[in-house]
Amino acid sequence: MKYLRIALATLATLTFSGVTAPAASADTQSVRAERTCPAEGTISQRWGVNGHRGLDIRNSAGTMIVAARNGTVTYSSNSTTALGYHIIVRHSDGSRTLYAHLRLRYAAVGDTVYTNQLIGEMGSTGNATASHLHFEVIIGSTQVNPQDHYPCR
Ligand SMILES: [Zn+2]
């Protein structure tokens, strides 16, 4: 069945260039329901613009930052790098989410965190001119577009 689906998708792409993505399967939808956007606010810079490797969400300092998906915290530090205070969460499929420029962190390395759990507060630590969340999604060692994987609109 898997081969058939791939073959059909390829055929559709070849036959109708510019075809829209097929509707998400029920499986995909249930997985996505376990994910959330980690902060409320205005998207101020999208992934891929001028080499930007994350998604920026702007809001006032102190805005709640929540885990976008269940996982285990693998990094949490008041780092003085460009990312500032930041947290990295590793998920069951090996992908990671990264939350940068935090004002405060509420999760430590080794913590299990759940979707929508408060893990920090928005800030402007590191290389940031205004309070915002820099949100990255990392698969393997590559950042991918967070909006392809998490419901940030
Ligand atoms: Zn950014």
pLDDT tens digits, one per residue of 13-53: 333 444 444 455 555 555 666 999 999 999 999 999 999 99
In the structure, ligand 1 is a single-atom ion and the residues with CB under 5 Å from it are: 54, 56, 134
- d(CA 53, ligand 1 centre) in Å: 7
For residue 112, the cross-strand partners are 72
Beta-strand (E) ranges in 30-151?
Answer: 42-45, 55-58, 64-66, 71-77, 85-90, 96-105, 112-113, 118-122, 132-139, 142-144
What is the CATH topology of the domain spanning 37-148?
A: Glucose Permease (Domain IIA) (2.70.70)
The tens digit of pLDDT for each residue in 72-122 reads: 999 999 999 999 999 999 999 999 999 999 999 999 999 999 999 999 999
Distance, in Å, from the CA atom of 98 to the CA atom of 117, rounded to the nearest integer, reads 15
pLDDT number for residue 135 = 98
- d(CA 74, ligand 1 centre) in Å: 20
Distance, in Å, from the CA atom of 48 to the CA atom of 31, rounded to the nearest integer, reads 25
- d(CA 152, ligand 1 centre) in Å: 14
DSSP for residue 68 = S
- d(CA 27, ligand 1 centre) in Å: 31
pLDDT number for residue 33 = 66
DSSP-assigned states of every residue in 108-140:
-TT-EE-TT-EEEEEB--SS-SSSEEEEEEEET
Neighbours of 56 (CB within 10 A): 21
Distance, in Å, from the CA atom of 122 to the CA atom of 42, rounded to the nearest integer, reads 13
- d(CA 56, ligand 1 centre) in Å: 5
Q: If you average pLDDT over residues 125-152, what whole number do you get?
A: 97
Q: How would residue 4 be classed by pLDDT, with cut points 50, 70 and 90?
A: very low
- d(CA 10, ligand 1 centre) in Å: 34
pLDDT number for residue 72 = 98
pLDDT number for residue 78 = 97
pLDDT number for residue 7 = 41
